[in-house]
């Protein structure tokens, strides 16, 4: 059910991208937008992991450098039926973690140094299992494509603003764009794309919590870890690019009530409630 919902939302995101192209450039604009969507998805497929790791200043660690962490990741990966991913560490005192990679054979798990210091072993297992669940469920690829598509739609809206400022529009009969439609698209498309991206991200987080709890075998430890991480990140937000915030197990950025309404992460209270009920 969750998988079908995700694919429907991804289809809606692609359709919105094409509608935005149609509104801003007529039939030709829609075709260009479709080709651009295919190109962006191809780029995201091959490069999202490298970009995510570089953007978050993650460094790969060898088994000699982090023996216990490698052993923990390897053991949980075997339990999940996955190849052992590469292991990365981020020099950051705030505890958090994320996974990246286009498929299980090209995956990586990154944890902050704060995570290794704050959590006990069972809690750490829960967090790593959650990230392995993202890998097994192909969430990283889906999230990366959704983020690229949403960003491209916002870029189209910016292009529309410049087109309207310089009056560079023709009527629909000539195959161009309608100014009124362009205006509506310019205002609505980025918001709609953001809402769809959030819905995709929240649904996949719930699924990763459930799958991660099954992999590690103790949902209460994952719930305890999430509670700790939420408190630490609220007190000391991380300095990360907002575009990569959705990748982390808990939101690394600060925000009030309004910001929480537009969060890519589900409410922490609900995530913990679901885990404790397992």
Question: Does residue 101 come out as left (phi exceeding 0), alpha (psi in the -120 to 50 range) or beta?
Answer: left
The CA angle 24-190-156, to the nearest 5 degrees, is 35
Question: Catalytic pick from 92, 131, 214, 269?
Answer: 131
DSSP-assigned beta bridge partners for residue 137: none
Tell me the mean pLDDT in the region 203-224: 94
The CA angle 216-218-223, to the nearest 5 degrees, is 105
Model confidence, pTM: 0.74
What pLDDT was estimated at residue 24? 58
- With contact defined as beta carbons under 8 Å apart, do 118 and 138 qualify? no
Among the ranges given (32-36, 100-104, 260-264), the one the predictor scored with the smallest mean pLDDT: 260-264
Spatial separation of the C-alpha atoms in residues 179 and 200, rounded to whole Å: 31
When the pLDDT of each residue in the chain is averaged and rounded to a whole number, the result is: 80
- With contact defined as beta carbons under 8 Å apart, do 40 and 148 qualify? yes
Strand order in the sheet with 58-60: 58-60, 86-90, 107-112, 97-101
Please state, as a whole number, how many other Cβ atoms lie within 10 Å of the Cβ of residue 83.
14
Structure tokens given for 261: 């309404």
What pLDDT was estimated at residue 253? 84
173 annotated active-site: no
Tell me the mean pLDDT in the region 97-114: 94
Going along 182-256, which residue ranges are E strands?
none
What pLDDT was estimated at residue 116? 97
Question: Does residue 169 come out as left (phi exceeding 0), alpha (psi in the -120 to 50 range) or beta?
Answer: beta
């Amino acid at each position: 059910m969750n998988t079908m919902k995700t694919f429907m939302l991804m289809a809606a995101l692609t359709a919105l991208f094409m509608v935005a192209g149609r509104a801003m450039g007529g039939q030709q604009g829609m075709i260009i937008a479709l080709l651009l969507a295919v190109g962006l998805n191809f780029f995201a497929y091959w490069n999202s992991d490298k970009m995510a790791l570089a953007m978050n200043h993650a460094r790969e660690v060898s088994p000699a450098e982090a023996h216990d962490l490698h052993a923990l990741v390897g053991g949980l990966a075997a339990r999940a039926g996955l190849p052992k991913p590469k292991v990365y560490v981020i020099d950051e005192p705030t505890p958090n973690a994320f996974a990246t990679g286009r498929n299980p054979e090209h995956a990586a798990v990154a944890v902050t140094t704060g995570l290794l210091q704050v959590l006990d072993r069972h809690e750490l297992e829960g967090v790593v299992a959650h990230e392995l669940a993202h890998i097994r469920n192909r969430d990283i690829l889906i999230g990366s494509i959704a983020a690229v598509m949403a960003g491209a739609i916002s870029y189209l809206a910016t292009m529309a603003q410049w087109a309207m400022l310089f009056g560079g529009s023709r009527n629909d009969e000539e195959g161009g764009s309608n100014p009124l439609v362009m205006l509506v698209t310019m205002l609505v498309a980025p918001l709609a794309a953001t809402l769809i991206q959030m819905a995709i991200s929240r649904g996949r987080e719930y699924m990763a919590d459930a799958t991660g709890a099954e992999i590690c075998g103790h949902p209460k430890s994952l719930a305890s870890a999430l509670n700790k991480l939420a408190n630490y990140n609220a007190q000391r937000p991380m300095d990360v690019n907002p575009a990569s915030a959705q990748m982390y197990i808990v939101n690394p950025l600060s925000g009030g009530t309004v910001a929480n309404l537009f969060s890519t992460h589900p409410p922490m209270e609900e995530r913990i409630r679901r885990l404790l009920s397992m």
